[in-house]
Structure 1
Amino acid sequence: MKKIIKYSLSIVVLVLIYVVYINYPRLNIISGYSAKNMSSSVFLAKRSLEITDAQDNNFSPIDIAKDEVDYEDKSASASVYGFMKRKAIYKEGLGSILVDTDFDETQQFLIPNRIKNSSNLPYPYGNSEPIDTIFNTINYKELDVAVSNAFDVSEEYVKKTRAVVVLYKGQLIAEKYVEGFDKNSKILGWSMTKSITSAVLGILEKQGKINVQQINLFPEWENDGRSKITLNDLLHMNSGLEWDENYNTMSDVTKMLFLDKDMTSSQLKKPLIAAPNNSWNYSSGTTNLLSGFIRNQFKTHQEYLDFWYRELIDKIGMSSMVIETDLNGNYVGSSYGWATPRDWAKFGLLYLHKGNWNGEQILNEAWVDYSATPTNGSNGQYGAHFWLNAGGVYPNVPKDLFSCNGYQGQRVFIIPSKELVIVRMGLTENSDFNFDVFLSAVLLSIK
């Protein structure tokens, strides 16, 4: 019996050694992801360690990390079998920041000044309860079924939907949350944040401070072919710069998000490997490069921090939203925007109404059209930091649909021809969650 136990323990040890050996180059990424996500979930979204481990961090290989939360220090740490311990700290107004071994605990961070909307208007233009509007064109029973079918039933855990919000003609017509979530729950939009970054550039364009055709975007590019890259090329992910957007290994994007102090410089240093405007390649590095470009439009870092909230986020009443920063204090415009589903829907409504927010033109109408126009090489799938249905990705949905898309199935769908904004937040993508079926069912309920 003792020999069997000893033999079994030896096997376990060998398996652990093998797992660590195979994953060792990635341990920094794995523990970094786990610590960062845990810190944000606990301190920004107000969820528990247990729920975060069971839901948000419960997938391979992240689930091999062990998390700890220090509630007094407002930080979270993670390691893999004791190796590569990483720590993320929470800063009010900035969210959670993944630190490194050189981090100075006394480092001071600037935080954005905010003027949160205290309007008593009904949602969506304010934060009071929405008007109870009945549309004769809606079959509410069919709509309720369409929304309910987006969620798991009984013991299912496949669709993993957390929230659905539907706006029609500027009114809330449907809303549903999974147990443990409600209208006040902040949810990470992941790459939906890219569309927020695009909107900030749209505001700068409306103010006459930038032009999408301008070149010589960065001093580091002055003496080579990168000087000819336009802002338009970056907005369309069509710069020709080298970039590997692979989340399953040590790649440009995982190293940027979980190792780099300054994420705005991750793609800045990359060489030109293809012709601009003729080599579409989705890149989170491009969006953070654009965050750096936005920073360069201001004399001070405080102005940069304030602008995103003053001119966009707080102006349209997205009071719950927090855009997290990197260790150098730059907005991680590619990935780290948190907000309630209702507030994500407000952003969609701004674009549905061609950049107009309750009478105030935040963005030029032409900018919204530009955002929804396909770029070269994307097969009708991508515009200026928005995803498109022009190529028929969703065959049973109007082709004028465009959307903010994020990891694990975060979506803000804008369908101008149907006057609809549809938000779905969750933890899974196609094919476990069929967006075409979901969207077409909602559309069929509206005659």
Structure 2
Amino acid sequence: MKIFKRILIVLFIAIILVVFFNYPKLNILSGYSAKNTASSVFVANRTLEFTDKTDNNFSPVNLASDEIDTNKKVATSSAFGLLTRKAIYRKGLGTVLTLTKKDETATYLSPKRIQPDNITPYPYGNAAQKDTIFTNVDYTKLNETVASVFGKNKSRAVVVIYKDQIIAEKYAEGFNKDSKILGWSMTKSIMSTVFGVMQHQNKLKITDKAPIDSWQNDERKNITIHNLLQMNSGLEWDENYDEISDATTMLFLERDMTKMQENKPLTGKINASWNYSSGTSNLLSGIVRSQFATHQEYLDYWYADLIDKIGMNSMVLEADLAGNYVASSYAWATPRDWGKFGLLYLHNGNWNGQQIFAKDWVKYVSTPTPTSNGTYGAQFWLNAEGQMKDVPKNMFFADGYQGQRVYVLPDQDLVIVRMALSWMEENKFLKGVLAAIEH
């Protein structure tokens, strides 16, 4: 009997220790589930059941239990009943994890939006496109290639745009052309483009030193906006999503996500220490904010001068509790609207006759960052070293978690959008699309 009691005591202590050491991870687990549930239901208009089945169905997130309040537009997630997180919907700003009870009733500003153009055909409006049949396109081969990346845990959407025409389009069950899909880190490319627009409008120069007051008394004062855009500042950052890291702490526990990278020391050399950092992207969002006298101007600018201007009317940029756009991770839009973003770059910043950013901005974002081994430009990914061996080296792309991608192929007059669930088969898929179009 004594032995049995001792075993129970040991087991009890073991359970307490497991909970103690994993409690911080439960915060991230339930936080991810609450945030993802809220956005999926209230931004993308999916059901809770569909969300749990298709978005929160992977380990360890599937261990959390989720609930929604459709009237208050709140999602709550609990990890084993030990830790509960709540995410709320704010009109125009998407959803955000709360940190205190007051966050649920706080007032906030929201961006003003431009009315969609539902008369002009796609891509310059949202009406049905004027279809063109290209004699140099093997549509059978193209559709077979597109179909090959669908199936269990492969893709949610593919849109292939050639010479401004959608020549192939396919969606997984439960999705269609009006479905908003999270771009994850493709949001970084949106943010980078905002800098291109601002520079074109002479609002700033990316060669300027970063306007960060707290850096002015140490070596960080020499970091330029350019260094930040290339993620080559030399600042410390841990981009690890499997542990409690800088990235997970920022996304799930910070009120103002623009500040975390600001407070990091230099651990490398400026312009010679490439380090992928979501914190840097959010710091850049904060720099955009610093260029405007009011927060309302900051909120409106991203839409009025870029997103709505090119008809990406479905896009929702989500903001943190401080009201800053989470430029690292949280932009939602339909695959067709993501395609418009690619077309803006394909046309060197010109949108239906209006120059949104300078032509040389395309060259800038697609120029390899020093020490990135030819893989990274200015918040865009590159194929400069032929990592995808069957794809042109001048292809560049926006890239998000699990394989959300907008590929721009300038020489082929081609934009390919793939909203994936894995990074698998990318070279083979792109090779197949290219093979179906005779150049």
Structure-2-length-normalised TM-score: 0.95
Kindly provide the amino acid, as one letter, of the partner of residue 202 in structure 2. G
Correspondence for 2:272 among 278, 286, 298: 278
Report whether the alignment pairs 1:386 with 2:385: no
Kindly provide the amino acid, as one letter, of the partner of residue 150 in structure 2. F
For 1:118-157, list aligned pairs within 5 A.
Answer: 118-152=117-151, 157=152
Kindly provide the amino acid, as one letter, of the partner of residue 444 in structure 1. A
> What's the offset of the Cα at 1:386?
0.3
User: CA RMSD of the aligned region, Å?
Assistant: 1.7
Tell me the secondary structure at the aligned position of residue 102 of structure 2: coil
Q: Provide the C-alpha distance between the structure 2 equivalents of 1:135 and 1:369, rounded to a whole number of angstroms.
A: 29
Q: Provide the C-alpha distance between the structure 2 equivalents of 1:21 and 1:268, rounded to a whole number of angstroms.
A: 30
Report whether the alignment pairs 1:440 with 2:431: yes
- Using a 3 Å threshold, how does the CA distance of structure 1 residues 403 and 74 change in structure 2: closer, same or farther? same
Identity across matched positions, percent: 58
- Using a 3 Å threshold, how does the CA distance of structure 1 residues 181 and 216 change in structure 2: closer, same or farther? closer
Kindly provide the amino acid, as one letter, of the partner of residue 443 in structure 1. L
> What's the offset of the Cα at 1:245?
0.4
Asked if the contact 1:217–1:229 (Cα under 8 Å) also holds between the matched residues in 2, the reply is: no
In the other structure, the counterpart of 1:179 is: 173
For 1:180-195, list aligned pairs within 5 A.
Answer: 180-195=174-189
Kindly provide the amino acid, as one letter, of the partner of residue 212 in structure 1. I
In the other structure, the counterpart of 1:426 is: 420
Number of equivalent positions = 431
Q: Provide the C-alpha distance between the structure 1 equivalents of 2:172 and 2:132, rounded to a whole number of angstroms.
A: 24
Gaps of 5+ in 1: 1-8
- Using a 3 Å threshold, how does the CA distance of structure 1 residues 383 and 211 change in structure 2: closer, same or farther? same
Kindly provide the amino acid, as one letter, of the partner of residue 49 in structure 2. E
Asked if the contact 1:216–1:222 (Cα under 8 Å) also holds between the matched residues in 2, the reply is: no
In the other structure, the counterpart of 1:289 is: 283
Asked if the contact 1:285–1:334 (Cα under 8 Å) also holds between the matched residues in 2, the reply is: yes
CA distances 1:92-147 after superposition (whole Å, capped 9, x unpaired): 11100111135343310100001133251111111001111100110010001011
> What's the offset of the Cα at 1:216?
4.7
Q: Provide the C-alpha distance between the structure 1 equivalents of 2:198 and 2:25, rounded to a whole number of angstroms.
A: 39
Q: Which moved more, 1:45-54 or 1:300-309?
A: 45-54
> What's the offset of the Cα at 1:179?
0.9
Report whether the alignment pairs 1:414 with 2:405: no
Asked if the contact 2:153–2:421 (Cα under 8 Å) also holds between the matched residues in 1, the reply is: no
Asked if the contact 2:338–2:417 (Cα under 8 Å) also holds between the matched residues in 1, the reply is: yes
For 1:242-391, list aligned pairs within 5 A.
Answer: 242-391=236-385
> What's the offset of the Cα at 1:357?
0.5
Asked if the contact 1:116–1:317 (Cα under 8 Å) also holds between the matched residues in 2, the reply is: no
Q: Which moved more, 1:118-127 or 1:171-180?
A: 118-127
Kindly provide the amino acid, as one letter, of the partner of residue 436 in structure 1. N
Q: Which moved more, 1:362-371 or 1:14-23?
A: 14-23
In the other structure, the counterpart of 2:5 is: none
Structure-1-length-normalised TM-score: 0.94
- Using a 3 Å threshold, how does the CA distance of structure 1 residues 15 and 125 change in structure 2: closer, same or farther? farther
Q: Provide the C-alpha distance between the structure 1 equivalents of 2:11 and 2:421, rounded to a whole number of angstroms.
A: 31
Q: Provide the C-alpha distance between the structure 2 equivalents of 1:412 and 1:11, rounded to a whole number of angstroms.
A: 54
Asked if the contact 2:98–2:104 (Cα under 8 Å) also holds between the matched residues in 1, the reply is: no
> What's the offset of the Cα at 1:14?
9.5
In the other structure, the counterpart of 1:56 is: 55
CA distances 1:152-200 after superposition (whole Å, capped 9, x unpaired): 1xxxx242x0000000011111100011100000000000000000000
- Using a 3 Å threshold, how does the CA distance of structure 1 residues 319 and 10 change in structure 2: closer, same or farther? farther
In the other structure, the counterpart of 2:43 is: 44
In the other structure, the counterpart of 1:114 is: 113
> What's the offset of the Cα at 1:44?
0.6
Q: Provide the C-alpha distance between the structure 1 equivalents of 2:283 and 2:16, rounded to a whole number of angstroms.
A: 39
Report whether the alignment pairs 1:400 with 2:394: yes
Gaps of 5+ in 2: 1-7
> What's the offset of the Cα at 1:390?
0.3
> What's the offset of the Cα at 1:291?
0.2
Asked if the contact 2:210–2:225 (Cα under 8 Å) also holds between the matched residues in 1, the reply is: no
Report whether the alignment pairs 1:233 with 2:224: no
Q: Provide the C-alpha distance between the structure 2 equivalents of 1:272 and 1:102, rounded to a whole number of angstroms.
A: 36
Q: Provide the C-alpha distance between the structure 2 equivalents of 1:23 and 1:158, rounded to a whole number of angstroms.
A: 29
Tell me the secondary structure at the aligned position of residue 89 of structure 2: strand
